[in-house]
A and B are shown apart, each in its own frame.
Chain A
Amino acid sequence: MASLKGKPPLIGWLEERLAFDAIQSFVAHKRVPKHSATMWYYFGGITLFLFGIQVATGILLLLYYRPSAAEAYESVQFIVTRVEFGWLIRSIHSWSGNLMILAAFIHMFSVVFLRSYRRPREITWLSGVGLLGLALGFGFSGYLLPWNTISYFATKVGTDMAAAVPLIGPTLARFLRGGDDVGGATLTRFFGFHVAVLPALTTGLLLVHLFLVQSFGISSPPRVEEQNRASGGPAPEMPFFPNFFLRELMAWYAALAVLGMLAAIFPWELGEKADPFAPAPAGIRPEWYFLAPFYTLKLIPSHVWMFEGELLGLLGFGLLAAWWVTLPFWANDRSGGERTRLLTGTAVVLIAYLATFSALGYWK
């Protein structure tokens, strides 16, 4: 235990009860690998930082938001027009949600390219993919909450896709909608998912993810490990605190600058209030991170041989997701050698597919 001598009595009292010295010791001894790809490590932290902003701004929005079909749109309109800096809070919440998902995708692909999922980090990978899934759930449920035309019809399309899932589809769609169609019950339900269910699940999984990251430390790419082995010397590292921490802080500030610019120069539009009896307007599309599967399903014919096209599409996405999630378990062959070509090829094809189909879904 560190000496309490010479410290203010309150600090000393707290140190004795909160085991500051253990934390100090942990931080002082924590090391982070230093190499040319170190910058990719920051995206996990940026994702966490943006999640923190989501939580903070979400709580502020909760002070005024009213989750009912009759009041949701008007309450958001009140927030952005009447509440002091309400427009900024709402705009930051919307933009940081999107940037968080973007940062999470970058983080995920950097983990693949740097081979950071390798033994013993398989569960870290699984928890990370789970967190990305939860982030997409936040996006899907939050999109409906302003109850505007675009979000209403996009949710209809989204829940229709869920209805096409074999066996459980109709039940799943009914569970999501709280009825046969998207309506006030859906809004209340999505609000519940958005502010209670998903945050609880995310908090739990995030703690697991962070615990595992701390337990196993940050991985170095295989080529860096080989270089280190070849040189025979100690691997280049930097102290987590203050060196890496300050760099990470810079990355957070950069993210904050981008977020501030987007929120102030392109405030998130409110659109028109949803009218369930109006025909769906042209150009209905989901958020950008759902555009690729959305556009793919649009391209698939309604019937392929004896199967429904939508069903085949969903089956394909399911298999692709399973293939991707289980990546750490097939990344190595039986002799322990890495399937480098298969891994890199899968990741590159997936990035190309997501980029191309998202662009096509946006522009077409």
Chain B
Amino acid sequence: MRTAALFLLFLAPLAAAGNSCLECHAALEGRLQKPALAFKIDIHSTRGFGCTDCHGGDAASGDPAVSMSRARGYKGKIARTAVPDLCARCHSDSNLIHKFKPQQRVDQLAQYRTSVHGKRLAAGDAAVANCVDCHGVHDIREVRHALSPVHPLRLPETCARCHADAGRMSKYKIEHTQFDEYRQSVHWTALAKRGDLSAPSCASCHGNHGATPPQVNSVAAVCGTCHVLFEELYKKSPHQPVFTAMGAAGCIVCHGKHKIEKPAVKMLSGDGSVCAQCHEADSAGGRAAAEIANRIKELDAALGRSEEILERARQSGMEVSEAQLQLMDGRENMIKARLAVHAFQTAAVAKPVQAGLVVAGKTYAAGVAALKERTFRRFGLSISLAAILATMAGLWLAIRSIENHRGPRSGTGGS
């Protein structure tokens, strides 16, 4: 600290020509130094913006009394409630922003004001998230930068910094388990484990700047932004009017919210199935669910048998790539059958299942034929080898016979 004080007293006035904010703060320590060091990698810094664009003041003056004077427009630390408007001075200005990124959106502030965060901030709650809580303060990076806190792979953790904090959430009487649940979902697996950047994270369903929880009636539409065909079938299904009348939120009734597990046949029938939550096993709905489950199991088993036999044939060196390619049609029918479940009608599921079973039957037959051919080849090989060995034995006997009768002759060898 003593060094910093000495610098400010004696040397800082000399740092007039450059950016005095960075030069002085870089020589300080602790929280006063941190912004100056972080700002080097900030996107604003790389695009030519400086400290004074947000904080005001005069970076040309090396004298802190001048550069940080109210007379030069110095604002000091920006109040949390003032942050969105400050950022929006540039980010809502299409003339300015489009000089840097022609397709960049400029409605973030308008969206933010519609969000729960924005409404609470407007009501004077400074604890809710504003721009810097998600994007960072002095080390802001482009969203696509892998180290940006709002990069798709890092966004869930960024939201969780507040939303997984029980103490902070208790004030608003909202859950704090979403992140833990999300990390058990298929969406997290796709995003974090497979690195699929298109997989949904928090903002995909809740929005980013206009973050709002989806309402009961809009859940299917939110899920339907990705699962388009599922939504279409659900809307025409007998469940849609019933769920709406019950005030149940569409997809969530069966799949849950944040902990969306991989769909499986066990969801359809048996103890603990989601259908059993409403349908008794011996009711019409329960029987239909069981039939749908059985049809899907039947197709899955048939395709599994085909895969197994074709793989066995392939490992034996048989060329079965055509049948394996054909089997993909069968798997496609399985996907269609699983999709058709969302029509909640047995006939809708039976059609792709039947088509898939035809493919499974043909490919299984191809596998059987390949293994039969393998047996035939090995039988043919045995016969051929026996014939070859017999011929070799015959030749050996012939040589013995010739040499026993005549004996190898002797003479001058070649050199």
Contacts and interface: CB of A to CB of B under 8 A. Distances in A.
A and B: bona fide binding partners: yes
B56 to A, nearest CB: 51
The size class of the interface chain A forms with chain B is: 35 or more
Which secondary structure dominates chain B's binding surface?
A: helix
A87 B370 CA distance: 12
Contact of A238 (B317, B398, B408): B408
A266 B317 contact: yes
Interface string B309-335: 000000001110110000000000000
A250 B398 CA distance: 11
Interface string A46-79: 0000000000000000000000000000000100
B388 A256 contact: yes
B241 interface: no
Interface stretch (A135-143, A185-193, A220-228, A298-306): A220-228
B409 A237 contact: yes
A248 to B, nearest CB: 10
Given A260-B384, A264-B378, A267-B317, A238 B409 contact: yes
A239 B385 contact: no
Contact of A228 (B317, B377, B409, B413): B413
A216 interface: yes
A295 to B, nearest CB: 27
Interface stretch (B17-25, B116-124, B175-183, B389-397): B389-397
Interface string B277-294: 000000000000000000
A216 B415 CA distance: 8
A96 to B, nearest CB: 15
Given A77-B322, A264-B377, A250 B395 contact: yes
A80 B319 contact: yes
B410 A236 contact: yes
**Among A80, A237, A266, which residue has the most Cβ atoms of chain B within 10 A?**
A237
A219 B377 CA distance: 42
B319 A33 contact: no
Contacts of A220: 413-415
A253 B413 contact: no
A235 B385 contact: no
A260 B386 CA distance: 12
Nearest to B385: A257
A208 to B, nearest CB: 19
Contacts of B317: 265-267, 269
B218 to A, nearest CB: 41
A237 B399 contact: no
B391 to A, nearest CB: 6
A290 to B, nearest CB: 24
Interface string A242-273: 11001101100110110011001111011010
B408 A257 contact: no
Contacts of A233: 410
Nearest to B314: A269
B76 interface: no
A242 B402 contact: yes
A313 B399 CA distance: 50
A254 B392 contact: yes
Contacts of A234: 410-412
A265 B318 contact: no
B408 A267 contact: no
Which secondary structure dominates chain A's binding surface?
A: helix
Contacts of B412: 234-235, 237
Contacts of B380: 264
B229 interface: no
A260 B409 contact: no
Contacts of B384: 260
Given A237-B408, A238-B408, A253-B392, A260 B381 contact: yes
Contact of B319 (A219, A265, A267): A267
Given A31-B409, A220-B413, A234-B412, A243 B403 contact: yes
A133 interface: no
A34 B407 CA distance: 12
Contacts of A33: 413-414
Contact of A265 (B381, B388, B415): B381
A218 interface: yes
Given A77-B319, A257-B385, A265-B378, A246 B414 contact: no
**Among B396, B398, B411, which residue has the most Cβ atoms of chain A within 10 A?**
B411
Contacts of A34: 408
Interface of A: 31, 33-34, 77, 80-81, 87-88, 216-220, 224-225, 228, 233-239, 242-243, 246-247, 249-250, 253-254, 256-257, 260-261, 264-267, 269-270, 272
Interface of B: 317-319, 321-322, 377-378, 380-381, 384-385, 388-389, 391-392, 395-396, 398-399, 402-403, 408-415
5 contacts: A235-B411, A236-B413, A257-B388, A265-B317, A267-B319
